[in-house]
Amino acid sequence: MSIVTKLQPLFIIVSALTGIALGKLIPLSERYAGNFIGIFLTCMLFFVFLNVKITEILKSFSDPRFSVSALIINFVFTPVFSLALSKLFLSAQIDLQIGFIMLMVTPCTDWYLVFTGVAGGNVSLGASILPLNLILQIVLLPVYLLLFMGTEVSFGFDTIMNSIALVLITPLVAANAVKLAAKRIGLGSALETITKKSDDIQFILLCLAIISMFASQGALLLGNSILFIKLLPASLLFFAVIFFLSLCAGKALKLPFENIIPLVFTTSARNSPISLAIATITFPLRPVISLVLVIGPLLELPILAIFAALLKLISPGYKRPHKK
| Average pLDDT rounded to a whole number, residues 239-245 | 97
Cα distance between the two ends of the chain: 36
3-313 maps to CATH 3.20.20.70: no
Task: With a cut of 90, say whether residue 14 has pLDDT above it.
Answer: no
Q: Which helix (H) or strand (E) holds 266?
A: helix 257-268
Which range, 215-219, 275-279, 303-307, is most confident?
Answer: 303-307
Burial (CB count within 10 angstroms: exposed 0-12, middle 13-18, buried 19+), residue 310? middle
Instruction: Tell which wins on pLDDT, 159 or 86.
Output: 86
| Average pLDDT rounded to a whole number, residues 187-216 | 83
Question: Cα 313 from chain centroid?
Answer: 26
Handedness of CA 63, 65, 67, 70 (dihedral sign): negative
pTM exceeds cut of 0.85: no
Task: Give 131-169 pLDDT, tens digit per residue.
Answer: 888 888 888 888 898 888 877 766 666 666 777 777 777
How confident is the model at residue 324, as a pLDDT?
A: 42
Task: With a cut of 70, say whether residue 57 has pLDDT above it.
Answer: no
The closest alpha carbon to 262, from 116, 120, 130, belongs to 116
Q: Strand, helix or coil at 283?
A: coil
Alpha carbon distances (Å) from 54 to 2, 10, 129, 161, 291 = 26, 32, 10, 20, 30
CB atoms within 10 A of CB 211: 25
Would you give the DSSP letter of residue 316? G
Task: Give 30-45 pLDDT, tens digit per residue.
Answer: 778 878 877 887 888 7
Burial (CB count within 10 angstroms: exposed 0-12, middle 13-18, buried 19+), residue 64? exposed
